[in-house]
Structure 1
Amino acid sequence: MAIAWTLLTADGRRAFREQLSIDEATWARGRGWALWKTLVACARTMGRADEAARNARHALSEIFSEDSTDN
């Protein structure tokens, strides 16, 4: 599930989730794993402006922008 926030757009995540037919708890765990993975990437790229740093910050914004009530 975590890959949904690092590679997919909001629309892509909705389609992905619909196709998987998973419950709310599974989706929330995936989002939590994505947050953990992204925070590690952000810490490793702190102070940098390269592609890895931009990708980490983008993934973090995707995680935080998704309302937990969005389905």
Structure 2
Amino acid sequence: MFNLDKDEQLRISSEKIALADEKIDVANEKIVTLENDKLDQDKVIKYLQNLTHKVVSKFLKLLDKDEDATQE
């Protein structure tokens, strides 16, 4: 194996650090995207839960009315 001079070693090390920094930036972007996706999904889930609650409460009111009508 050949010996590299200090300037060449420094250049190679700097390139490796720059590449690692790029990978960290990409990873951070992915994290932000995943966090935003989760926030959007949480909003949709909350909306669907509220909608389900409204539908079920209306359905129960209809059942109560049907039961009242059959008891007369």
Tell me which interval the TM-score lies in, with the shorter structure as reference length. 0.3 to 0.5
* Highest RCO, 1 vs 2 (Cα 8 Å, sep ≥ 6): 1
**TM-score of the pair, normalised by structure 1:** 0.34
TM-score where L is the length of structure 2: 0.34
More helix by share: 2
